[in-house]
Amino acid sequence: MAAAGRTADAMSGWSRTLAVFVALAWSTAATAGCGADPEPCAVEGGTYHVELPQGVTGPAPVLVFLHGWGGPGVATMSNTGMVRAFLARGYAVIAPDGQMRANGKGRSWDFIPGRAVQRDEVAFLRRVADDAARRFGLDRDRMVLGGFSIGGSMTSYLACADPTAFAAYAPVAGSFWRPHPTGCTGPVRLLHVHGWTDMTVPLEGRNVGGATQGDIFTAMEIWRQANGCTALRADQFGTEGDIMWRRWTECAPGSALEFALHPGAHGIPQGWASLAMDWFEGL
């Protein structure tokens, strides 16, 4: 009878353990069920979308990509060529949502000098990265932050303020606005890609809605200073298809700086995903 009682107690204990395990598993699965349109994941201050690679064992590397003017994050996910290229290489893709403008005309990011800030974007994007790493088992130490147009500008400002927030930065067709930063924290690992014939965000910038875009070459000088590069000129040059790139390597340990020009206009050039992943993995 005593043995039977102990057996019954053991079974009862196992039942309670199993119930707890099932409850936790269900809770985790339910929590991880967000991310796809129309059910974004929520963190303090905003939301994000995510797509995970298939068949990846262990924590996956991540592209966090910031949309351009208007948004939202699902616009990034609709760029299936870029997203699928990253997924095929085993990356997760995360697309945070910018904020609705006060006038209700599209979403954007808070960074333009002299304008009121609605949200601490650096803190928000850190929360997105931390939440996604925890929720989906992603590699927090292998996250590259990229962005297009005004999202590229936000990427640049975050890299300037807190280069340790992400492993590397890859702005496309967007950088600083005037007045340019007087300096950035470094070292930083950054790849800037821009179109030679971009008239929306020209290399020299332009006036937009009472603010003025910055000069891309001035931005590259700011990055060289942040990285402690000993020479203004690049020391490595190359081409990949129709993309021309230059690289500075005589710089502080842990830094990386590359600038790539493509012949196109305002957009993410074909092949950017492979270019960015090759660069990031080469670090």
Predicted confidence at residue 196, as pLDDT, reads 98
Predicted confidence at residue 115, as pLDDT, reads 78
Coil vs helix vs strand at 168: strand
For tokens 């948004």, the residue is 71
**Is residue 13 included in any domain, yes or no?**
no
**Is residue 38 included in any domain, yes or no?**
no
Tell me: the pLDDT tens digits for 202-234? 999 999 988 999 999 999 999 999 999 998 889
How many domains would you assign to the chain? 1
> In the structure encoding, which two tokens stand for residue 184, read together?
């950035």
Which segments in the chain show pLDDT lower than 70? 1-33, 36-38
Which residues does residue 49 pair with via DSSP β-bridges, in sequence order? 95
**Is residue 22 included in any domain, yes or no?**
no
| Helices 150-161 and 121-136, packing angle to 10 deg | 90
**Is residue 154 included in any domain, yes or no?**
yes
**Is residue 120 included in any domain, yes or no?**
yes
**Is residue 27 included in any domain, yes or no?**
no
In terms of phi and psi (left: phi > 0; alpha: psi -120 to 50; beta: otherwise), the region of 106 is: left
CATH value at residue 102: 3.40.50.1820
**Is residue 121 included in any domain, yes or no?**
yes
CA distance 250 to 158: 24
Predicted confidence at residue 223, as pLDDT, reads 98
Nearest to 77 by CA among 108, 121, 39, 111: 39
Question: Buried b / exposed e across 242-263, counting CB within 10 Å, b at 16+?
Answer: ebebbbbeebeeebbbbbbbbe
CA distance 157 to 6: 64
Residues sharing a CB contact under 8 Å with residue 202, sequence separation 6 or more, in sequence order: 213
Residue 199 contacts residue 173 (beta carbons within 8 Å): no
Tell me: the pLDDT tens digits for 14-25? 333 333 333 333
Predicted confidence at residue 17, as pLDDT, reads 36
**Is residue 14 included in any domain, yes or no?**
no
Predicted confidence at residue 28, as pLDDT, reads 33
Structural domain range at position 194: 47-282
